[in-house]
Amino acid sequence: MNSVTPFSNQASKTDLYRQICEQLQQLIGGERDFIANAANTAALLFHSLQDVSWVGCYLRQGEDLVVGPFQGKPACSRIPVGRGVCGSAAESEETVIVPNVSEFPGHIACDPASASEIVVPLLNWGKLIGVLDIDSASLNRFDEDDQEGLESVAAILLASQPTDDLPDLSQTAID
């Protein structure tokens, strides 16, 4: 069993993400199940990052994103690609940082206390398999340092899986 060691509150954001990445590699190294690794990634981030209210993955199923492993309050179950912050990041396949979600056109308020958000696309060889979504109850919580750190986290999550083992949810038909 892998354990998580506490991080220093004095660490810079860059150092914090470096420590998170090191622990994530130890935590999920050798595990081949994507859902298990996504669950442990969400838990590690939720308990390591200050001032976050929700951390989780939405996985692509056809033209929707369906809630996957997460930490926080209950979430929206299904988000159409192209709608809201998660759907916008999925559609553009680029990280989206929203300093104030009330100013984001079409924001989907799963938690009315959410004030800012960052969403990182999860790409398997250029094919979108989902997104990593993090919310905060504070305005302007996320910046470029968070983007760089969370994109590194997403890369570790995806690299932990042999390509053939990653779920190909984009081809799932919606009835």
Rounded CA-CA distance 140/98 in Å is 8
Q: Is the pLDDT of residue 14 over 80?
A: yes
Q: In this predicted model, which residue has the larger pLDDT, 172 or 99?
A: 99
Q: Would you state the pLDDT for residue 11? A: 79
What integer is the mean pLDDT of 58-68?
A: 96
Q: Would you state the pLDDT for residue 175? A: 39
Rounded CA-CA distance 30/160 in Å is 7
**pLDDT tens for each residue of 84-124:** 999 999 999 999 999 999 999 888 888 888 999 999 999 98
Rounded CA-CA distance 66/78 in Å is 5
Are 85 and 147 in contact by the 8 Å Cβ rule? The answer is no
CA dist 132 → 8, 91, 117 (Å): 24, 14, 11
pLDDT band at 169 (very low <50, low <70, confident <90, very high): low
Percent of the chain surpassing pLDDT 70: 87
What integer is the mean pLDDT of 10-23?
A: 93
Class of residue 10 by CB neighbours under 10 A (exposed 0-12, middle 13-18, buried 19+)? exposed
Are 67 and 86 in contact by the 8 Å Cβ rule? The answer is no
For the record, the structure tokens of 14 come out as 């860059």
Place of tokens 């559609």: 91
Cβ atoms within 10 A of the Cβ of 11, count?
Answer: 12
**pLDDT tens for each residue of 116-159:** 999 999 998 889 999 999 999 999 999 999 999 999 999 999 99
Q: Would you state the pLDDT for residue 108? A: 86
Rounded CA-CA distance 70/173 in Å is 24
- Determine phi and psi for 8, rounding to 5 degrees: -75, 135
Q: Is the pLDDT of residue 1 over 50?
A: no
Q: Which domains does the chain carry? A: 13-162 (3.30.450.40)
Place of tokens 């924001």: 107
